[in-house]
Amino acid sequence: MKKTKCYKFKEVDLVGLRELALKVKSQTGFRLRYGGLLTLLRTDVDEKLVHTLVQFYDPSFRCFTFPDFQLVPTLEAYSNLVGLPIAEKTPFTGPGTSLTPLVIAKDLYLKTSDVSNHLITKSHIRGFTSKYLLDQANLGTTRQDALEAILALLIYGLILFPNLDNFVDMNAIEIFHSKNPVPTLLADTYHAIHDRTLKGRGYILCCTSLLYRWFISHLPSSFHDNSENWSYSQRIMALTPNEVVWLTPAAQ
């Protein structure tokens, strides 16, 4: 492996989101409406392993190249892990003008006036503070469908499509509204890793928990048996094609 490059990943305080998730009355119902978002929320990412994985990214072939095999995230794999289908429509290509406060309010089961009053601009980007959304979801009078919708949007804005700290931007809101996040998730992953690899350092802004779950889904159980006290890079380099798990499991 080449000289180790230094990357950083977005750190998100998940305590408030995980506490809110405990208020979801039907895990099955939430999964039917929003896919496997709660699984991603509960994922404790081993950042050291993800950092090691990114070292193997090959910008020439746009995949992760190891001594005896290659791995590449696909739409199908991400769809399985997120637990959401790939919609047959144009994926998100950038902020549009279709989302009025009325549309957003309907998605979140909130009052249009509340949405209008709390949509703010931060660093030239429109969106909600995570505090406002958490406060709305935690109100004692909040309906279960509103709580779940707000929780799902928070996961979109802070975990799936992280950007500014403690802020859910309009891009995440539009993708949430489209109900078609998978193509953008995959594109974000490739763009972030490819761009940082070319620069050799910096923040990789993508859904780290999804990238992590994708990678560990391909690792054999023996990978975690580190009796010889090898580093992650040594263990990855020692993997053979016969040991790799080639089928990606569905979301839980």
b/e per residue, 70-88, with b = 16+ CB within 10 A? ebebeeebbbbbbbbebee
pLDDT tens sequence for the chain (252 residues): 468 899 999 999 999 999 999 999 999 999 999 999 999 999 999 999 999 999 999 999 999 999 999 999 999 999 999 999 998 877 887 776 679 999 999 999 999 999 999 999 999 999 999 999 999 999 988 899 999 999 999 999 999 999 999 999 999 999 999 999 999 999 999 999 999 999 999 999 999 999 999 999 999 999 989 888 999 999 999 999 999 999 876 766
Exposure pattern of 27-40 as b/e (b: 16+ CB <10 Å)? Answer: eeebbeebbbbbbb
Task: State the pTM of this model.
Answer: 0.95
Q: What is the DSSP string of 183-196?
A: HHHHHHHHHHHHHH
